[in-house]
Structure 1
Amino acid sequence: MSRIKLTAELVEAAVLGGCVLGGGGGGSMEEGRKMAMLAVNLSSPELIDVEDLDENALLINVSAVGAPSAKDAYAEPIYYLRAIELVQKIEGIKIDGIISNEAGGLATVNGWLQAAMMGVPVVDAPSNGRAHPTGIMGAMGLHKIKEYKSIQAAVGGKKEKLTFTEVVVTGSLEKVATLIRAAAVQAGGFVAVARNPISCRYAKENAALGAVKQAINLGKEMIKAKEKGPKAVIDAVCDYLKGELIATGSIENVYLESIGGFDVGKVILEKDYEITFWNEYMTLEKKGERLATFPDLIMTLNADTGMPVTSAEIKAGQKIAVIKTKKENLILGAGMRDPNLFKACEEAVGKKIIGYVF
């Protein structure tokens, strides 16, 4: 058991380490810093372990859904709280803690503001310790419970642009996740989401316990290394995650499309290396030889600064370091243990994935 007061000093570590663990997705560090600083300036939310609450206490999952590169993506901080209010009102429940959906520059700290405003803790039991593309991957295995009814609320968009969207959807997890993704498209590319209340008992067995602290500790190592230069930061990431630096070079081409609320495409690094992505990086290959496959962590870092670069931010001409680490070095939730959930990844990027993972 542990209780950590979330302070301004921890914000940078959380967004830095979280962005690396996003593996190309998980939202931007800029948005994460803004949200987390609002939280710690408003109150003093605590990060606690799932064991610190009664096993029947209710946790709600918060996430951000959409295509990271969407130009009209917009969500005010209050939208994140509004989504939780909608779920509580319709279900007639009281939430005892907040859990994030995944890791990322925004995702790791998603929930801090809601916790500060509601006076409840952030619980270190996210759905996943890395970022993932589909909502069902972040459902911690709930899709396997036939009688389970998903409830999800989404809020996003600008009223002045007539893209403001607020929806609450219930039904099977797969259908609801599809409708929430469609809501993100209608909102301009992005929605704040609250969903699927679960008990602490369920989280203990299916969540990525300790993944928030892993992100914070990774970020601390990166911050310590910054004064020694970008190479030291990249080395610190590899050392902490037991990973390796695969290549350093200039990005030759980036192919990107926004399809159905997702960013999908590939990155070519000096002809030899190809990285495919579906929001998150899916595959890494050298001259056709597979080097890493999602949910292994594939990540790009700016070679001149050592700072993480997401798939939505990467541009042709950038000098990039590509790192990888095996999935065994990450803290993963139940959504990463079902081969059927990876079929959509294969279809999106046109690469074999399941055979490399399971």
Structure 2
Amino acid sequence: MAIMKLDEKMVEYAVFGGAVLGGGGGGWIDDGLQIGRLALEIGQPKLYTIDEFDDEDLFVTVSMVGAPAAKDQFVKPVHYAKALEILTQKIGKSVKAIHTNENGAGTTVNGWFQSAITGIPLVDFACNGRAHPTGAMGSMNLSEVEGYISHQAGVGGKADNYVEMSISGSLEKAASLIRKASIEAGGLVAVARNPVTRAYAKSNGAAGAISQAIEVGEALLAHKGEAAIASVVAKLGGTVVTTGEVTDFQLETTGGFDVGTVRINNEHEMTFWNEYMTIEKDGQRFATFPDLIMTLDAKTARPIVTAAIQKGQQLAVIAVPKEKLLLSTTMSNEKLLQPIEDIIKKSILSYIK
């Protein structure tokens, strides 16, 4: 039986709750609302628990890959559907369920449209319960499975930038080439990837991630302003680290990622690699990825992703310890987390051991 019938209110809850759980990444709120509502216009997607499926049933991940701030990005609903079509043709096997790779403003509802037009069930599951920068981090530790062949399809862009890509190979190579395809497509592609059994998914991913996002979104939207922020913090068991003005913001889109820093009141500094990675003040670290760090408008409580930060904004910064999140086994894989240090030039591993 379906855990819930998805409706307009669930779209809003999922998108806004996903935005919080995205930790600064995971796409744009307006994009998430658009594709979630479109799914309801063309069909009636339902959310199923992972226990509704057999251990050998094949699950497929759907995701977005690229840099949210890229100026020439172009991904439409048809691209999501095309990527799934290319992948299913490639593997030649029946897909029993689809799920998103992560929670985020645009990604929590990823799969709803594909489910609505194909009839493939949508499962209350994500590779990771929070957003993350690299494809390998969202691949449920398949990087540790000897001989695993990753099948991935990516579609996006328009006119001369339009890209359709199907790749099979090692997880690292496939993820790298999909990332390069996103650059060629103008900054973003819709992806379908990495078929695995339900048994493997349940052991390595975040079951219940979508219903959690819906609950967080409901907690947020049931209140306004500071009360909404307090409601979300209470729901997740986190804290408000600081509230104040964005006094400095640096962003560079490079290698298919957004990388940069945010300073609040010239005191607290946050680094991000698509998602927020650290927050500290005078050398004191308050939270470190995969802890959740997120910015919300201090007056309206609207989640503000890293790509939308501007100097002068008044923001509240919240943090939630990783122990209180639904996370994949990849979030304890030091080999996958090590590259963060090279990108943001700050220590990560010593804070999460």
TM range (shorter): over 0.9
Please state how far the C-alpha of 1:2 moved relative to its aligned partner.
5.4
Equivalence for 2:210: 212
Matches within 5 A, 1:260-275: 260-275=255-270
The TM-score normalised by the length of structure 1 is 0.97
* Structure-1 separation of matches of 2:104 and 2:194: 20
Q: Which of the numbers 166, 185, 188 marks the counterpart of 2:186?
A: 188
| Misfit runs of 4+, over 2 Å | none
| Total equivalences in the alignment | 353
Q: Is it true that 1:50 corresponds to 2:50 in the alignment?
A: yes
Task: Tell me the alpha carbon deviations over residues 202-222 of structure 1, each in whole angstroms, 9 at most, x when there is no partner.
Answer: 111111011111100010111
* Structure-2 separation of matches of 1:201 and 1:267: 40
* Structure-1 separation of matches of 2:43 and 2:226: 36
* Structure-2 separation of matches of 1:151 and 1:204: 20
SS, match of residue 102 in structure 2: coil
Task: Tell me the alpha carbon deviations over residues 298-318 of structure 1, each in whole angstroms, 9 at most, x when there is no partner.
Answer: 000001201100000011000
- The residue type paired with residue 213 of structure 1 is S
* Contact 1:296/1:324 (<8 A) preserved: yes
* Structure-2 separation of matches of 1:135 and 1:344: 12
Please state how far the C-alpha of 1:93 moved relative to its aligned partner.
1.4
* Structure-2 separation of matches of 1:7 and 1:54: 27
SS, match of residue 306 in structure 2: coil
- The residue type paired with residue 142 of structure 1 is L
SS, match of residue 270 in structure 2: strand
| Structure 1, unpaired ranges of 5+ | none
Matches within 5 A, 1:1-358: 3-159=3-159, 162-226=160-224, 230-358=225-353
SS, match of residue 320 in structure 1: strand
* Structure-2 separation of matches of 1:209 and 1:121: 15
Task: Tell me the alpha carbon deviations over residues 263-316 of structure 1, each in whole angstroms, 9 at most, x when there is no partner.
Answer: 000001111100000000000001221110000000000012011000000110
* Contact 2:2/2:46 (<8 A) preserved: no
* Structure-2 separation of matches of 1:42 and 1:335: 35
- The residue type paired with residue 217 of structure 1 is E
SS, match of residue 335 in structure 2: helix
- The residue type paired with residue 176 of structure 1 is A
* Structure-2 separation of matches of 1:2 and 1:324: 32
| Structure 2, unpaired ranges of 5+ | none
* Structure-1 separation of matches of 2:248 and 2:42: 43
* Structure-1 separation of matches of 2:90 and 2:11: 33
* Contact 2:241/2:317 (<8 A) preserved: yes
* Contact 1:281/1:298 (<8 A) preserved: yes
SS, match of residue 346 in structure 2: coil
* Contact 2:260/2:272 (<8 A) preserved: yes
* Contact 2:61/2:194 (<8 A) preserved: yes
- The residue type paired with residue 96 of structure 2 is D
* Contact 2:205/2:329 (<8 A) preserved: yes
Please state how far the C-alpha of 1:233 moved relative to its aligned partner.
0.7
* Structure-1 separation of matches of 2:343 and 2:226: 33
Task: Tell me the alpha carbon deviations over residues 89-130 of structure 1, each in whole angstroms, 9 at most, x when there is no partner.
Answer: 111112111110001001100000001111022111210000
SS, match of residue 305 in structure 1: coil
Please state how far the C-alpha of 1:24 moved relative to its aligned partner.
0.3
* Contact 2:179/2:256 (<8 A) preserved: yes
* Structure-1 separation of matches of 2:95 and 2:310: 41
* Structure-1 separation of matches of 2:60 and 2:85: 11
- The residue type paired with residue 161 of structure 2 is T
